[in-house]
């Protein structure tokens, strides 16, 4: 009897875990695009000498963002049940 009662809850939890995994993949995509954009904008500011100090900071921040995103790609959270 308890297995029959828990089956809809297990299905719901699995459905939620699948949606979290899809959201996670989207966030990884946004992080990768953001890292590239930040590095490009920083490089433009740095090499055109519009604002070299801000450009260097943006380049370093973009590289750090890319490293953090790659860490989460290599070690993703577990959204499964068990």
Backbone angles phi, psi at 51, to 5 degrees: -155, 80
Which pLDDT does position 6 carry in this prediction?
63
Dihedral of the alpha carbons of 17, 5, 82, 69, in degrees to the nearest 10:
10
Which pLDDT does position 82 carry in this prediction?
55
Q: Is the pTM of this model over 0.85?
A: no
Nearest to 59 by CA among 80, 79, 41: 41
- pLDDT, tens digit, for every residue of 25-77? 999 999 999 999 999 999 999 999 999 999 999 999 999 999 999 999 999 88
* Structural domain spans, the chain: 25-75
């Amino acid at each position: 009897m308890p297995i029959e009662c828990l089956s809809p809850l297990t299905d719901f939890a699995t459905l939620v875990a699948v949606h979290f995994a899809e959201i996670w993949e989207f966030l990884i995509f946004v992080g990768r695009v953001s890292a590239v954009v930040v590095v490009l904008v920083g490089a433009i500011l740095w090499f055109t000498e519009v604002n070299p100090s801000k450009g260097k900071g943006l380049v370093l921040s973009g590289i750090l963002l890319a490293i953090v995103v790659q860490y989460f790609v290599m070690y993703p959270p577990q959204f499964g049940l068990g």
